[in-house]
């Protein structure tokens, strides 16, 4: 009779233990320490088509990574080193030709960035340093010949010192000026554009404008470094710079 009483008492205590969850020891261990990816990992879409092939080392992307279209054609090719893009990465057209190749170092663009036409000929090229575009943009026609002309950075002086006491300088590009920006400052190493080091110019009618109002008898003479950045019709950024020699007297 005593054993029946003990069993009945234990059954009454079971609802109080509903916060306990019993799992097989293997399942508990797997949840606590998920396995790190190592080596080649192949990913597929729901329809079974190949989506990507990525190399890992200790759970971090390391080596060649590729992605594919649903038809099985390669779309992207990226080289990683310890999780960072390092080396030449490529984007492809559907016909297998390279659309764009970019050189990276520690996830930043460092080196040439080149775009191509579907026939394999070069469309444009520009050099980067630590994600900063250089002033050496070149664009080509589909036959492979370089463009003969590019937008030029120019300025116009409006001297109204005698009338209003103002001296204005307007900066502009000879083409594509509606997609231009203008700055005061220097290019890094005389070549690379770094927005964080520059002062953007006020703009009026898509022109960079500097206005000076010297007081009576005041004389101003200085060199002003000016940078213009314009987006071409192909979506590339052309960078040009000049020095404006200011010499005015109020």
The encoded tokens of residue 58 equal: 């200790």
Architecture of domain 39-139: Single Sheet (2.20)
E-strand spans in 86-232? 87-92, 98-105, 108-116, 122-129, 132-133, 138-139, 153-160, 166-173, 180-184, 199-200, 203-204, 207-212, 219-231
| pLDDT value for 34 | 61
Strand order in the sheet with 207-212: 153-160, 166-173, 207-212, 203-204
Beta bridge partners of 88: 103
CATH code reported for the domain at 153-249: 2.60.40
State yes or no: pLDDT of 244 exceeds 90.
Answer: yes
DSSP H helical segments within the chain, as ranges?
2-13, 25-32
Cα separation, 160 vs 167, in Å, equals: 6
| pLDDT value for 199 | 97
How far is CA 87 from its chain centroid? 16
The encoded tokens of residue 18 equal: 């509903």
| pLDDT value for 176 | 79
**Which of 12-26, 59-73, 93-107, 218-232 has the weakest average pLDDT?**
12-26
Cα separation, 98 vs 119, in Å, equals: 9
pLDDT by residue (tens digit) across 119-154?
999 999 999 999 999 999 999 999 999 998 999 999
pTM: 0.79
State yes or no: pLDDT of 5 exceeds 80.
Answer: no
Would you give the DSSP letter of residue 73? Answer: -
State yes or no: pLDDT of 167 exceeds 50.
Answer: yes
Confidence tier at 19 by pLDDT (50, 70, 90): very low
Cα separation, 162 vs 34, in Å, equals: 78
DSSP 141-159: -TTSPBPS----EEEEEEE
What's the full length of the chain, in residues? 250
State yes or no: pLDDT of 12 exceeds 80.
Answer: no
How far is CA 83 from its chain centroid? 17
Would you give the DSSP letter of residue 95? Answer: T
Domain boundaries, the chain: 39-139, 153-249
- Residue 179 in 3-state DSSP? helix
State yes or no: pLDDT of 28 exceeds 80.
Answer: no
State yes or no: pLDDT of 32 exceeds 90.
Answer: no
| pLDDT value for 21 | 33
């Amino acid at each position: 009779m005593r054993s029946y009483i003990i069993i009945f008492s234990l059954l009454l205590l079971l609802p109080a233990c509903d916060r306990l969850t019993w799992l097989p020891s293997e399942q508990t261990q797997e949840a606590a320490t998920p396995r790190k990816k190592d080596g080649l990992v192949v990913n597929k879409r729901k329809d079974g088509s190949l989506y990507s092939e990525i190399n890992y080392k200790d759970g971090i992307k390391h080596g060649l990574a590729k992605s594919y279209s649903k038809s099985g054609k390669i779309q992207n090719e990226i080289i990683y080193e310890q999780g960072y893009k390092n080396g030449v990465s490529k984007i492809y057209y559907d016909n297998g030709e390279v659309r764009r190749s970019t050189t990276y170092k520690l996830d930043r663009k460092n080196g040439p960035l080149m775009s191509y036409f579907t026939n394999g000929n070069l469309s444009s090229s520009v050099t980067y340093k630590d994600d900063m575009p250089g002033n050496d943009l070149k664009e080509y026609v589909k036959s492979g010949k370089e463009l003969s002309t590019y937008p030029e950075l120019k300025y116009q002086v409006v001297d109204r010192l005698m009338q209003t006491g103002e001296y204005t300088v307007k900066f502009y590009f000879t083409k594509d000026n509606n997609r231009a920006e203008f700055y005061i400052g220097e290019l890094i190493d005389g070549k690379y554009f770094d927005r964080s080091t520059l002062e953007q110019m006020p703009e009026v009618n898509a022109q960079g404008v500097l206005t000076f109002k010297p007081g009576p008898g005041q004389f101003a003479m200085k060199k002003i470094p000016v940078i213009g950045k314009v987006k071409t019709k192909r979506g590339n950024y052309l960078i040009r710079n000049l020095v404006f020699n200011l010499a005015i007297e109020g």
